[in-house]
Amino acid sequence: MPNLKDLKIRINSTKNTQKITSAMKMVSAAKLRRAQEQAIAARPYAERMERVLGSLAASMAGKDNAPALLSGTGRDQVHLLVVMTSDRGLCGAFNSSIVRQARKIARDLKAAGKTVKILCVGRKAKDQLKREFANDVVGAIEDVAKPRLTFEAAAKIAVQIRLMFEAGEFDVCTIIYNKFKSAIAQIVTPQQLIPFALPSANENNAAASQLYEYEPDEESILADLLPRNMSMQIYRALLENSASEHGARMTAMDNATRNAGEMINKLTINYNRTRQANITKELIEIISGAEAV
Amino acid sequence: MADQVHFELVSPERLMFSANVGEVIIPGTEGDFGVLAGHSNLISTVRPGVINILDDGARVTDRIFVEGGFAEVNATSCTVLAERAQKVDEIDRAKAEQALADAREDVTDAKNDIERAIAVAAMEIAEARIHALAVSVY
């Protein structure tokens, strides 16, 4: 029979934990809303970028002097994986599902005889990947979303990747992030960044069918546009990721709060029973003592 | 009333400007160009500089500094995609000059061609920003 004081202490500590988890849930909900707003704010830019790329793709079709960011190096020997996770834990399976996917891709590539390089964005990716792929991790970027996620931060990552690409350090670049579907569901998405797949011309029917003049010529515009597009893709991935992170944390904390509540109920029942049993025991003792007299 | 053109300035973080205006003058890479309603379809890159927004009476209503980007023009609308933009009135001269000094230093300190290219681009932006302050009205 557990004693009353211990039970009381456990109930109180569980209550404290519940307070923390429910506060974290509230904070995540607010952050999730902000992340979603940011993602919506980024949409007009992304849409127009896509439209311009679409019409460029239409007019570039059949030309073979496309920039390297678009056509690649012509090989696919060295793969760069950009693994995007959060800096902080306590968000359910969010980080581990990304890392699991990254591991799988890296193993598959290695099995196929390719070289794999890994660039970690976010502390968790580095922590979890450095054990198995210690020699393949070429860099780690932390605190991208502090104090808040800006386009600049994404652009910085893009420049770093581009510098590596121009130095010939890899042939194919893939980013792995969590696509935000809802607060409950996030989808791990690998997306190829270099060589970049242009939106095909027939998807952008209206815009692409219009004839545009280009100033300067198509190739120069494309050369200027592709790095920008890369920054944009990374920015979008980071936004999706941060929305997913907060969504995942919200769900995880919601569950934790509920579990703590259940535990408190169970412990309280236990506590009351024990108390009752003690009282009964004392009564029996008194009564039997009185009878003995 | 003359025909108007719908001008939008979009940055990745928000839609910065969206309105019907009389004319927009955009600093294209190959020279400034004005956009009126009925302009032919055009896609152009934009150099760091000032976008002037004019009303129907050809008076400048807004001047916005952009750090480069690109513009998409058709008969009824004009969209500029810029990573960073700010109103000319909101540029802080002291900060701008500091940025230029830093950028110049970076150019001298650059260790290789790639670093230099990035530093030079930053310097050009800083120079254009100072220049935007110097030229008051188009």
Q: What pLDDT score was predicted for residue B136?
A: 56
Query: Are the beta carbons of A154 and A42 closer than 8 angstroms?
Result: no
Residues A215/B42, Cβ–Cβ less than 8 Å? yes
- Cβ separation of A41 and B13 shorter than 8 Å? yes
What is the rounded CA–CA span in Å between residue A21 and residue A19?
6
For the stretch A166-223, pLDDT in tens is: 888 888 999 999 999 888 888 999 988 888 776 655 544 444 445 788 888 878 888 8
Q: Does B86 touch chain A (CB under 8 A)?
A: no
A20 pLDDT tier (thresholds 50, 70, 90):
very high
Question: Does the pLDDT of residue A21 top 70, yes or no?
Answer: yes
A286 three-class SS: helix
β-strands B77-82, B5-11: how paired? parallel
pLDDT at res. B1: 47
pLDDT at position B138: 45
B98 touches chain A (CB under 8 A): no
Mean pLDDT calculated for residue range A50-56: 80
Largest Cα–Cα separation, chain B: 57
The larger pLDDT score, comparing residue B57 to residue B64, is at B64
pLDDT over 70 percentage in chain A: 92
- Beta strand ranges found along chain B (DSSP E): 5-11, 14-21, 23-28, 31-35, 42-46, 49-54, 60-66, 69-73, 77-82, 85-87
B64 touches B90 (CB < 8 A): no
Within 8 A of B45 by CB-CB distance, chain A residues are 215-216, 220-221, 224-225
B114 CB neighbours in chain A (<8 A) are 163, 166
Q: Where in the sequence numbering do the catalytic residues of A fall?
A: 91
Cβ contacts (< 8 Å) between B34 and chain A: which residues? none
Q: pLDDT tier at A109 (50, 70, 90 boundaries)?
A: very high
Burial A192-227 (b: 16+ CB within 10 A, else e): ebbbbebbebeebeebbeeebebbeebeebbbbbbb
* The pLDDT of residue A293: 81
pLDDT of residue A207: 47
- Identify the residue with better confidence: A128 or A59: A128
Structure tokens at A12: 């109180």
Average pLDDT, chain A: 86
H helix and E strand count, chain A:
7, 6
Query: pLDDT tens digit string along B60-106?
Result: 888 899 988 889 898 888 999 998 888 888 888 888 888 888 888 88
What per-residue confidence (pLDDT) applies to A205?
A: 47
What pLDDT is attached to residue B2? 60
Residues in chain A: 293
Of all residues in chain B, the one with the smallest CA distance to A154 is B12
Confidence class of residue A9 from pLDDT cuts 50, 70 and 90? very high
User: What confidence category does residue A12 fall into, taking pLDDT thresholds of 50, 70 and 90?
Assistant: very high
A-B C-beta contacts closer than 8 Å: 79
pLDDT attached to residue A64: 63
Highest mean pLDDT out of A17-21, A53-57, A117-121:
A17-21
- The span from the first CA to the last CA of chain A, in angstroms, equals 30
- How open is the CA angle A69-A142-B69, to the nearest 5 degrees? 40
In chain B, count H helices and then E strands: 2, 10
Helix ranges (H only) for A192-217 are 205-209
B10 reaches A (C-beta below 8 A): yes
Q: Is the dihedral angle over the CA atoms A268, A270, A276, A281 positive or is it negative?
A: negative
**B29: chain A residues, CB-CB within 8 Å:** 215-216
pLDDT at A67 over 90: no
Residues contacting residue A101 through CB under 8 Å, at least 6 positions apart: A176, A188, A190
Quick: pLDDT tens for A122-155. Answer: 888 888 888 888 888 888 888 887 778 888 888 8
Higher-scoring residue by pLDDT: A9, A203: A9
pLDDT in tens, A29-42: 999 999 999 888 88
Q: Does B81 touch chain A (CB under 8 A)?
A: yes
Is B45 in contact with A220 (Cβ distance < 8 A)? yes
pLDDT, chain B, mean: 86
> A62 pLDDT band (50/70/90 cuts)?
low
